[in-house]
Structure 1
Amino acid sequence: MAEVKSLKKREEIDLKYKWKVEKIYNNTEQWESDFKSLKEEALETREYEGKLGDSKALETFLKLNEKIVRKAEKLMVYAHLRADEDTSNPEFQILRSKIDSYFAELASYVAFFEPEILALPDGTIERFLQENPELQVYDFLLKSVLKEKPHILTKEMEELLASVSDCLDAPSNIHNMLTNADMKFSVIKDEDGNDVELTEGNYSGFIRSKDRSVREAAFKALFKEYKNLENTLSASLTSSIKNFIFNARVRKYSNSLEASLSPNDIPLEVYTNSVKTMNDNLESLHRYVTLKKKLLALDEIHMYDLYVPVVDIEKEHIEYDKAVEMVTEGLNPLGVEYLGIFSEGIESGWIDVFENKGKRGGAYSSGAYDTMPYVLLNYNFSLNDVSTLAHEMGHSIHTYYSSKNQPYIYSNYTLFCAEVASTTNEIILIHHLIDKEQDKKRKLYLVNQELEQIRATVFRQLMFAEFELKTHELIEQGEALSPKELNGIWHDLNTKYFGSDMVVDEEIDSEWSRIPHFYRDFYVYQYATGYAAASAFAKAILENGEEAVEKYKGFLKSGGSDYPINVLKKAGVDMTTSAPLEATINRFNELLDMLDELI
């Protein structure tokens, strides 16, 4: 009998493949000592309540608060990294629980800050900034708070809204419990004819099956259950939208879209023009559907054929050291300095590489202002893992540059910018892999990988964004949206986006009910804009070399020192125009041409 290969325990992993968390704290005793001093120091912040009308007191409070939050973040990073490297270790789970609970308490100590700033007479903050040079560094922070003044309510109303926040989150919680805990799917046959219970977890594998009957069965079984529950799911989604609209109206925004975009100073046109630009270029997606139909040799292409790979290649086993070499070679256009930071991260213990018993799954980038960046991987020797390494190191090098070049208060970049650096790395890497590949079959595979990434991240997410915009506008106009209306909107969007060659199966009409992101209003468009910005940066770097690299590094160094649109514009990517998105679509068309030639 063959020996069963089991996961290594944490202590069996070679030290060179583990992150160096001991650079934060040598042991839990040091952590506990810092945590104790944090709790004592944090109490001092409460002494400043009611005193921020004095310039010197405001300065002292801001400096004290920064010191405390920096220590808290350092404690949090250590606890979370330790907890994630072995989730079965109770010692580190306790540390994480302690610091997570304490963050809520810490927030309550300084809850007076924004209301007090907003209650000051007009012109007070501007006068403070002129009188006190030590406050100059806080100029953008303070003016960002003041900008939202028209939308901040009275203290009593803010407290009332806060007290019902759990109730307003109920639709999202209901959707989460219903779809993850209560929903059960039927049994289907797998590729070998075995009976398998369908789950949300194994659906992604079945929908990519080379056996068409398997993916069709999985598709129909999954959406049959969503169809059965569409009345409940319709009620939860429309309730969520109504809650968001209620909040926008109470806060005196002109509409819900403005309420979502205004805090980061993102013009509404960035959203609406993205949807329009995509609508103007849907023939590119239609062409992809036609080519996929041809490559799969289908008489009809259905929605359940969309995810199946167009070509199979032999699974490649790529050792981690080889992956580092591949990424280093692929990212060469980013220059010596960038590659030096990448190499420093590899050699100085940023990365926790391999899976071990109890380790958290997936991948992420973490770190605080007073720690080095950290990357969690579960490296499994595939080409996808190589791409994940490039992606997560993109996040971490963004964090590195931002922390080195910004004061603490501006070191965190916004969600709008968060995926740009990681995706830029991925795009530059896959460009390199496609350009150097000589084997026709492997090249076809790589081309389709990039096409699928653009389809899923840009075309699909903007279809989602269009659905959100339409449903919010209809409810704002007083329309009632039943499952019939929601199904109709979703069906029409799929028909429009995928074109005449696609058979839009009726089961897909209920897909809107499966998307948890719809409970975070106007969130998904940022996947598309982030990819478009990254695509624009990658194109400039590959075509213009050092000059473009310097602009890109300017973006990485900017952190949160300005609103995201301004940060990107200074680096040469203007998201208020359609140019970045059009550049992404042009790349999609280039890849379609390659695919056509390789067929």
Structure 2
Amino acid sequence: MTEELRERKDIDKADQWDLSSLFADDAAWENGLAGIDPLIADAAAYQGKLRDAETIRRYFDAEERLDMAMSDVFAYSFLRRSEDMRDGRAQDMYARAYAKYVEMSTAVSFAAPEILALPEEKLKEIAEADVLADYHYAMVKLVRQKPHTLTAPEERVLSTLGEVLGAPKNIAENLQNADLTFDPVKDQDGREREVAGSNYILLESSKDRVLREQAFRSFYRGYRKHINTFAAAYAGAVKGAVAEASLRHYASSREMASLGEDVPPAVYDNLIEAVHRNMPLMYRYVALRKKILGVDELHYYDLYAPLSAAPEKRYSYDEAKSLVLEAVRPLGEDYVSRVRQGFADRWVDVYPNRGKEGGAYSESTYHSNPFIMANFTGTLDSVSTIAHEMGHSMHSWLSNHAQKPQDAEYTLFVAEVASTVNENLLAENLLEKAKTPEEKMSILNQYLEGFKGTVYRQTMFAEFEKEAHEAAERGESLSAGKLSDIYRKLVAEYFGPELVIDDEVALEWARIPHFYRPFYVYKYATSYSAAVALSEGILAEYRKGRAGLENAAAARYLRFLSLGGSMDPLDELSIAGVDFSTPEPVDRALKKFGRVLDMAEKLAGERQ
């Protein structure tokens, strides 16, 4: 008997997201796409005229109208494509939206170099003009980019290459989500099971070790067949980033990514150094996992296996919603009510279906409610994912409702804080309610996996990116063999001597889509570290009977969520109560990992 994914048409509409806050349907989207052209013309008409504050203000207003309309058009096509990557119409819509985005970027590429070409004193006078008060922070950020902004013709050339530079990511996504197929496998009872990107982690989380191993071998057998294509795609993405950094006079692509978000590059280095100092904790966790599972050798396909011997608890989606609502109660009734409304208004696309993009994400625009793509399978991890993505969505909703459009979009550096605060609130709530040792171990397992997957593993990814980009900057080729060698070495370093490094492990880099957004993944680790401190502070006050704005830690955090992108990210986190000018937040988070690990080791000893 084969366990198959359903087709999308067989999924209840109540469990699919409602995109009508963007466009009523595809026909309305077509009208929205057509409406972009006059907005592009309005903004482009200012070329050669940006010499005074009043004109610059009118241009910024025109550009903002264009940005918001383009954001709606692009988001709708992106969401539609995610529903079923095999859908030719959705793929066409996305391609047309992407092309229009590049056209828009090209049309307005004159603005930054034209403004920054003004004399220094004139530029300073304009930046402080009352008429530009609504765009003050935008002007501050623009002036910072002066050393890295090219001439208008050069910026135009770069903009026209936007679609080409995005091609490696699109190639990898289409290969991964639409074209890549995997051999079905059999579990320990001989039943045939389908293997797909959307259910791979679910299979790897099974108690059935035969199934885990077979799925692991099948999955990477599929990737091995196309590994040179994945390597070529990733090398193209890296070289594109390296070339742009050089053209913009940055020392490296990593510096471009960091300074582009006003984050000192030292934060990246501090993270890696702090995690390396705490490697022994991860080695302890790997050893504990080997001990609890009772295996002679711990393989990569054992890293997601549940540590509780009890049958894995399954949750309905309704139960998941209730657990999330209960977990976020420390943030106050206003927050809880908005989350409840988000569930009722179908922000979430709940279940996996054939062709659906794997993983999960939250997407929103200034005009629309947020949208959550999930692949809910009833596991505790699936419940945690709903909490995680709802954190993103609430961050977007609060920012969009508190800030003007130009200041609403938060930076990627702070993007994972809200999501991981929600995850930690959920884990702590479940731990408090656990009634049996097995239930407690299951939750500790989930908690430990959060640290493993979000701090250690994402930092490992960050080192992989760092090495790959530095190799390209030295002029070295990024062949499949070279990338796999880097990755194998890092897995061995991060997981320690108790883990058997199967040959397939070296190929895992090919399935990480975030590598196509250079130097993004380290932000998961820094955000998780911040979230540990924030959630612990919020819960300490909540346990004294204080919630929402009456909870000082929660009040600071809710203010942070409403800041959007209105100030530098490290300043926003400072308001929330976290200082990333030092490695201290990462060290503090990993001390918490040690305490959770102590609890798991003690419980494991008591069960023997």
Same fold (TM over 0.5): yes
Q: Structure 2 matches for 1:304-453, cutoff 5 A?
A: 304-314=301-311, 316=313, 318-346=315-343, 349=345, 351-352=347-348, 363-375=360-372, 382-453=379-450
- Return the offset for 1:133: 1.1
Amino acid in structure 2 at the alignment position of 1:70? M
Amino acid in structure 1 at the alignment position of 2:266? E
Whether 2:118 is the aligned partner of 1:113: answer no
Contact in 2 for aligned 1:350/1:373 (Cα 8 Å) = no
- Return the offset for 1:268: 1.1
Distance of aligned partners of 1:336 and 1:116 in 2 relative to their CA distance in 1, 3 Å threshold: same
Q: What residue in structure 1 maps to residue 246 of structure 2? A: 249
The DSSP-based 3-state class of the residue aligned with 1:63 is: helix
Q: What residue in structure 2 maps to residue 584 of structure 1? A: 589
Moved more, 427-436 or 463-472: 463-472
Q: What residue in structure 1 maps to residue 63 of structure 2? A: 65
The DSSP-based 3-state class of the residue aligned with 2:60 is: helix
> Which of 538, 561, 566 is equivalent to 1:561?
566
Moved more, 439-448 or 377-386: 377-386
- Return the offset for 1:61: 1.8
Q: Distance in 1 between matches of 2:457 and 2:361?
A: 23
Q: Distance in 1 between matches of 2:233 and 2:28?
A: 47
Q: Distance in 1 between matches of 2:323 and 2:263?
A: 37
Q: Distance in 2 between matches of 1:18 and 1:208?
A: 25
Moved more, 165-174 or 383-392: 165-174
- Return the offset for 1:540: 1.7
Amino acid in structure 2 at the alignment position of 1:578? P
Q: Distance in 2 between matches of 1:250 and 1:456?
A: 35
Q: Distance in 1 between matches of 2:79 and 2:103?
A: 22
The DSSP-based 3-state class of the residue aligned with 1:323 is: helix
Q: Distance in 1 between matches of 2:580 and 2:272?
A: 13
- Return the offset for 1:395: 1.9
Contact in 2 for aligned 1:10/1:356 (Cα 8 Å) = no
Q: Distance in 2 between matches of 1:495 and 1:212?
A: 22
Q: Distance in 1 between matches of 2:160 and 2:310?
A: 55
Q: Distance in 2 between matches of 1:265 and 1:434?
A: 37
Moved more, 57-66 or 291-300: 57-66
Unaligned 5+ runs, structure 2: 543-550
Q: What residue in structure 1 maps to residue 261 of structure 2? A: 264
Q: Distance in 1 between matches of 2:227 and 2:417?
A: 35
Moved more, 335-344 or 166-175: 166-175
Q: Distance in 2 between matches of 1:298 and 1:271?
A: 36
Q: Distance in 1 between matches of 2:361 and 2:490?
A: 33
Output one character per residue of 1:179-221: Cα deviation in whole Å (capped at 9) or x when no partner.
Answer: 6677776675543336778665665455444444444455456
The DSSP-based 3-state class of the residue aligned with 1:577 is: coil
> Which of 127, 150, 164 is equivalent to 1:129?
127
Quote the sequence identity (%). Answer: 35
Q: What residue in structure 2 maps to residue 596 of structure 1? A: 601
- Return the offset for 1:318: 4.2
Moved more, 304-313 or 251-260: 304-313
Q: Distance in 2 between matches of 1:180 and 1:92?
A: 14
The DSSP-based 3-state class of the residue aligned with 1:286 is: helix
Contact in 2 for aligned 1:351/1:377 (Cα 8 Å) = no
Output one character per residue of 1:350-404: Cα deviation in whole Å (capped at 9) or x when no partner.
Answer: 5356559999666543443233444455666554443333223222221222122
The DSSP-based 3-state class of the residue aligned with 1:123 is: helix
The DSSP-based 3-state class of the residue aligned with 1:574 is: coil
> Aligned residues, how many?
592
Moved more, 74-83 or 434-443: 74-83
Amino acid in structure 2 at the alignment position of 1:571? A
Contact in 1 for aligned 2:315/2:380 (Cα 8 Å) = yes
Q: What residue in structure 1 maps to residue 47 of structure 2? A: 49
The DSSP-based 3-state class of the residue aligned with 1:365 is: strand
Larger Rg: 1
Contact in 2 for aligned 1:9/1:357 (Cα 8 Å) = no
> Which of 517, 522, 534 is equivalent to 1:520?
517
Q: Distance in 2 between matches of 1:27 and 1:475?
A: 44
Distance of aligned partners of 1:548 and 1:187 in 2 relative to their CA distance in 1, 3 Å threshold: closer
Q: Distance in 2 between matches of 1:562 and 1:374?
A: 25
Q: What residue in structure 1 maps to residue 291 of structure 2? A: 294
The DSSP-based 3-state class of the residue aligned with 1:370 is: coil
Contact in 2 for aligned 1:125/1:142 (Cα 8 Å) = no
Amino acid in structure 2 at the alignment position of 1:305? D
The DSSP-based 3-state class of the residue aligned with 2:120 is: coil
Output one character per residue of 1:94-133: Cα deviation in whole Å (capped at 9) or x when no partner.
Answer: 9878766644444444232222112222232321234x31
Output one character per residue of 1:432-491: Cα deviation in whole Å (capped at 9) or x when no partner.
Answer: 001211122121111101211221121111112122223433454456666666555434
Amino acid in structure 1 at the alignment position of 2:492? T
Output one character per residue of 1:148-186: Cα deviation in whole Å (capped at 9) or x when no partner.
Answer: 221222344444445555665566566567766777766
Output one character per residue of 1:136-158: Cα deviation in whole Å (capped at 9) or x when no partner.
Answer: 12121122122122122234444
Distance of aligned partners of 1:476 and 1:146 in 2 relative to their CA distance in 1, 3 Å threshold: same
